[in-house]
Amino acid sequence: MDTMGSDENILEMRGITKVFPGVVANDNVDLDVRYGEVHSLLGENGAGKSTLVKILFGLCQPDEGSIHLRGEPIAVESPAEAIASRIGMIHQHFMLVPTLTVAENVALGTQSTRRPFTDLDVVSRRVSEISEKHGLAVDPSVEVRRLAVGERQRVEIIKALYRDAELLVLDEPTAVLTPGEVDDLFVILRRMANDGRGLIFISHKLREVLTLSDRITVLRNGKVVGTTAPAETSREELAQMMVGRAVRLTPDKPLMDASAAQLKVEGLTIRGDRETVAVDDISFEVRSGEILGVAGVSGNGQRELAEAIAGLRAVEPGGSIRIAGVDVTGDDTRSRRDRGLGFIPEERMRDGAIAEFTVSENLVLVDHGAAEFTSRGMLDFGSIREHSQKLVDDFAVKTPGIDTPTSSLSGGNIQKVILARELSASPTVLLACQPTRGVDIGAAEYIHTRLIQQRSLGTATILISEDLDEVMGLADRIAVMYEGEIVAIVPSEEATRDRIGLLMAGVVEAPDQSSV
């Protein structure tokens, strides 16, 4: 990717310091952005990325430091001033009114040329011009609520361009996009940089940052760790800069002898929420000591499959699910768990843990009624506390105590609580859905290590994930789902990113081809 950037800076932030009660969010941070450059800000949750751009956009004021825009010192007091200074911001959560059209959303907060009347036709025309020029295909007359997520994001970008933004901040713009939409977005962003704009791209996804950026600045605990360029660095090095220690992105997997099938799914057809067929006649098995990865773009039936295996969704007649040789197709979640199923749900805060419960209560959410935690019909808090403390220590859960409300823990630590609960039951079959989505690299690394350990103990794991690196790093075999079907099951040693990527897009291989 060639760099169009000149050496001239559009933005210079110098010595930015911002202290929140108890936390130094930014500690003497410097950031330069050149004209025509995509400059990525990389860091874990809480590293200070968002605070830095909030300061730039006037959403909060720095305690110390200066900002120069186009060589002039500025003090941004409010977002309105930022916009007037031609700074645009694409927030992680879209700032759009769903019931208004694209043109109306763009016009919101701008001055009409025909006051006191609106000039939506003029706006529409300019929106069309902008979308044509930058390849942002969107119909200005459509209501925003009818748009897909990727399209809504384009509207946000158009909004910024309509206001003639020359410095554009994108706060985790890919978090909500499918891989295809991410590719489209990157083409658009690169084109805007080539026009001479400066772009600040915030992410914690290493691969994206390496693909898109001209330069990368890594933040950790509010401080700049360093600034580098994709050609000079690697995923491993960036991860180390983010976390502050060496990180294994792909854990070592000991060889396991494939043995008995512990989870066996045959002829499974599942209807989705709208009664349409979400999963269409699939069969597979997972053996003891094996991780079966399920890859696929979100919405191709993975969620329904997971719910069916967990006993949360009914399956169509004819299909069967067996755990450790026993047919559990008609059983409820409780009896499947009693048969040895462990379940890490995709929606951590909705299905995995109860926010209002304490850490300890969530750790016994499944097994609270077991003999070891009750005595004479009452909960035995002594043994529950002992068990909880042991799990918190074993799984390195960062929490002030076991009686802390779970809602006050970070995402990664809540996930560790769920992991601890599910693994402590020594599952025969483990269903892990998006186990590291949105968690810090350090926690993700830990979760991966634990899943591998569980594999060594003989658990049959089915890992459903949209993170292709995760699936390829952990799985022994990879099942690719597309439109409710398993289009292929590929042994990991034969899997390449390109091959899996094509399968995820529904490109089915000819039977003889071993790789694409």
Partner 1 sequence: MIKGVLGALVPLLAALAAFAFGAMMLVTLGASPLAGLDAMLDGAFGSGSRIAATAVKATPLILVGAGITIAFRTSVINIGGEGQIIAGALLSTVVALSFPNLPAFILVPLVLLSGAVGGGILGAVPGALKAYASVNEILSTIMLNLVMVQFMNFLLRGPLIDPFELEAGTRIPQTQRLSDNATLPTLLDGTRLHIGVPVAICAAVGAYLILWRTPTGFRLRAVGYSPEAARAAGISVKRNITLAMTLSGSLGGIAGAILVFGSEGQRMVTDGSAAGFTGSAGFNGIVAALFGGLHPLWTIPSAMLFGALLTGATQLQRVLQVPAALAVALNGIIVIFVISSTPVRGWLQRSLADSGLFNRSSDTAGMD
Does the footprint of partner 1 cover residue 241 (CB under 8 A)? no
Among 28, 374, 389, 492, binds partner 1 (CB under 8 A): 374
For partner 1, the binding residues in 333-352 under the rule CB under 8 A are: 333-334, 336-337, 343, 345, 347, 350-352
Q: Considering beta carbons, is residue 232 or 273 the nearer one to partner 1?
A: 273
346-352: long-range contacts (C-beta < 8 A, 24 or more apart)?
Answer: 346/303, 346/306, 346/433, 346/434, 346/437, 346/464, 348/411, 348/414, 348/415, 348/418, 348/437, 349/414, 352/414, 352/415, 352/418
User: From CA 442, how far away is CA 448, in angstroms rounded?
Assistant: 10
User: From CA 188, how far away is CA 178, in angstroms rounded?
Assistant: 15
**Phi, psi (rounded to 5 degrees) for 166:** -110, -25
**Nearest-approach distance from CB 314 to partner 1, in angstroms:** 13
Does the footprint of partner 1 cover residue 240 (CB under 8 A)? no
Start-to-end CA distance of the chain, whole Å, equals 24
Q: Considering beta carbons, is residue 93 or 115 the nearer one to partner 1?
A: 93
Element (DSSP H or E) covering residue 445: helix 441-456
**Nearest-approach distance from CB 339 to partner 1, in angstroms:** 11
Amino acid at 14: R
**Nearest-approach distance from CB 348 to partner 1, in angstroms:** 10
How many angstroms from the chain centroid is the CA of residue 333? 27
Q: Considering beta carbons, is residue 59 or 74 the nearer one to partner 1?
A: 59
Does the footprint of partner 1 cover residue 310 (CB under 8 A)? yes
Q: Considering beta carbons, is residue 10 or 344 the nearer one to partner 1?
A: 344
Does the footprint of partner 1 cover residue 9 (CB under 8 A)? no
Q: What share of the chain is helix, strand, coil (3-state, %, to 5)?
A: 35, 25, 40
Sheet of 485-491: strands edge to edge? Answer: 341-344, 429-433, 460-464, 291-295, 477-482, 485-491
Residue 464 tokens read as 């459903």
| Cross-strand pairs, 199 | 38, 168
For partner 1, the binding residues in 433-452 under the rule CB under 8 A are: none
Does the footprint of partner 1 cover residue 372 (CB under 8 A)? no
**Nearest-approach distance from CB 418 to partner 1, in angstroms:** 10
Instruction: Tell me which stretch binds partner 1 (CB under 8 A): 118-126, 133-141, 315-323, 327-335.
Output: 327-335
**Nearest-approach distance from CB 19 to partner 1, in angstroms:** 10
Instruction: Tell me which stretch binds partner 1 (CB under 8 A): 177-185, 376-384, 391-399, 496-504.
Output: 376-384
Among 137, 229, 258, 355, binds partner 1 (CB under 8 A): 355
Q: Considering beta carbons, is residue 131 or 424 the nearer one to partner 1?
A: 424
User: From CA 181, how far away is CA 150, in angstroms rounded?
Assistant: 6
Q: Considering beta carbons, is residue 133 or 368 the nearer one to partner 1?
A: 368
